[in-house]
Amino acid sequence: MPRMHRNRVKKRRSPRTWIQLGFTALFNGYAAGFAKGTIFTGATKYACVPVLNCYSCPGALGSCPIGSLQAVIGGAKHQFSFYVLGTIMLFGIVLGRLVCGFLCPFGLVQDLLHKIPVRKWRVPKRVDKPMRYLKYVVLLVMVILLPMFATNALGTAPPFFCKYICPAGTLEGGIPQLLMNEKLRALAGWLFSWKALLLLGVLLLSVKIGRPFCRYLCPLGALYSLFNRFSLVRMNLDVHKCVGCHACERTCPMQVDVTKQINSAECIRCGKCKEVCPTGAISTVVSLKNQPSVASQDARQGV
Ligand code: SF4
Ligand code: SF4
């Protein structure tokens, strides 16, 4: 790093963890559910929240968009819920994956575990890059195709992603329900064991790797990533201020090539790159103009 910037590296503190805690409490604000061991069934349960938040969590005040999508696709008529898709599109167009970075309770869980001070792993690019496509496969197969075609005698299908994969559901819904309900405990079999193992794997990996579930498995993250390059809220890199120290890339939990593609489909807008940049080259912008950082990249190439 050039000497003139060496003394200027001062990490700016972000209130992001508090915002994440606030949204987690807001989406799961039915405290009585935890005390009584019941699920909230009031009017707000008809609305879906913009994040992965299990319907069966005793505190959940709304529905999970991925759970709702599967419920409608797997229903007797096999339809798409345009209300749910519209909600995801609205949040995607405005915020992109900022939803993952600031609003998602399971994102918060992974972030808190990643704060444990142990040596971190950077996944080699040759492994990381193909693995990122897995979440699109999960979206297509577990959320859409299987609920649509793997039907039972009544012509309906279970929510395959919720049933066989979702670690957020196991943590927020499955475990609290089993702890509070003796009858359910007696029924827990191999499926719960599999899901608990999967959850444990994700939680352990989160200590070493930034957001493993969001990177590789989350079907909602896959949907939001489609909007990330042109959402209204984006990251911007001012290449005239960038000195090429790559501190941003070393700190990015999603292993984004910040100086090459700051608005990558993987960026969760967490702002960590912004916090460590010694020259203030990175900012969060709200703009209708498409990809200001790409324009900056072009300018850089012309220098
Ligand atoms: S944008 Fe990244 S590489 Fe450029 S100065 Fe900031 S931290 Fe360093
Ligand atoms: S590029 Fe910056 S804002 Fe995006 S995920 Fe990485 S650290 Fe967070």
Pair (121, 250) in one structural domain? no
Residue 80 forms part of a structural domain: yes
Q: Any idea what the CATH number is for the domain that residue 237 is in? A: 3.30.70.3270
Contact 97, 269 (CB under 8 A): yes
Residue 240 forms part of a structural domain: yes
Lowest mean pLDDT among 138-142, 235-239, 245-249, 295-299: 295-299
Q: Measuring from atom 8 of ligand 2, which residue has the nearest CA?
A: 270
Pair (263, 209) in one structural domain? no
Which ligand number lies closest to the CA of residue 300? 1
Residue 8 forms part of a structural domain: no
Residue 284 CA, closest ligand 2 atom number: 3
Between the CA of 274 and the centroid of ligand 1 the distance, in Å, is 9
Pair (68, 137) in one structural domain? yes
Pair (75, 132) in one structural domain? yes
User: SS3 sequence, the chain?
Assistant: CCHHHHCCCCCCCCCHHHHHHHHHHHHCCCHHHHHHCCCCCCHHHHCECCCCCCCCCCCCCCECHHHHHHHHHCCCCCCCCHHHHHHHHHHHHHHCCHHHHHHCHHHHHHHHHHCCCCCCCCCCHHHHHHHHCHHHHHHHHHHHHHHHHCCCCCCCCCCHHHHHCCHHHHHHHHHHHHHHCHHHHHHCCHHHHHHHHHHHHHHHHHHHCCCHHHHHCCHHHHHHHCCCCCCCEEEEECCCCCCCCCHHHHHCCCCCCCCCCCCCCCCCCCCHHHHHCCCCCEEEEECCCCCHHHHHHHHHHHC
The predicted-structure confidence for 55-65, as pLDDT tens digits, reads as follows 989 999 999 99
Pair (189, 104) in one structural domain? yes
Residue 9 forms part of a structural domain: no
Mean pLDDT of 194-201: 97
Domain boundary among the residues 195, 225, 255 is at: 225
Q: Measuring from atom 5 of ligand 2, which residue has the nearest CA?
A: 267
On the question of pLDDT at 7 being above 80, the answer is no
The CA distances from residue 91 to 94, 214, 220, 233, 235, in Å, are: 5, 17, 11, 10, 16
Residue 2 forms part of a structural domain: no
Pair (156, 239) in one structural domain? no
Between the CA of 26 and the centroid of ligand 1 the distance, in Å, is 35
Q: Measuring from atom 2 of ligand 2, which residue has the nearest CA?
A: 273
Nearest CA to 231 out of 103, 133, 132, 89 is that of: 89
Residue 128 forms part of a structural domain: yes
Domain boundary among the residues 180, 199, 225 is at: 225
User: How many domains does the chain contain in total?
Assistant: 2
Pair (151, 221) in one structural domain? yes
Q: Measuring from atom 4 of ligand 1, which residue has the nearest CA?
A: 242
Residue 268 CA, closest ligand 2 atom number: 5
Pair (206, 238) in one structural domain? no
On the question of pLDDT at 246 being above 70, the answer is yes
pTM comes to 0.90
Q: How far apart are CA 139 and CA 33, in angstroms?
A: 30
Pair (40, 155) in one structural domain? yes
Residue 258 CA, closest ligand 1 atom number: 2
Alpha carbon 193 to chain centroid, angstroms: 24
Task: Please give the residue range of the domain that contains residue 288.
Answer: 232-302
Residue 245 CA, closest ligand 1 atom number: 8
Pair (86, 179) in one structural domain? yes
235 lines ligand 2 (CB under 6 A): yes
Pair (22, 125) in one structural domain? yes
Q: What are phi and psi of 286, to 5 degrees?
A: -115, 115
On the question of pLDDT at 287 being above 90, the answer is no
144 lines ligand 1 (CB under 6 A): no
Mean pLDDT of 227-240: 94
Residue 56 forms part of a structural domain: yes
Pair (20, 141) in one structural domain? yes
Domain boundary among the residues 225, 258, 280 is at: 225
Residue 5 forms part of a structural domain: no
The CA distances from residue 20 to 7, 27, 265, in Å, are: 31, 11, 21
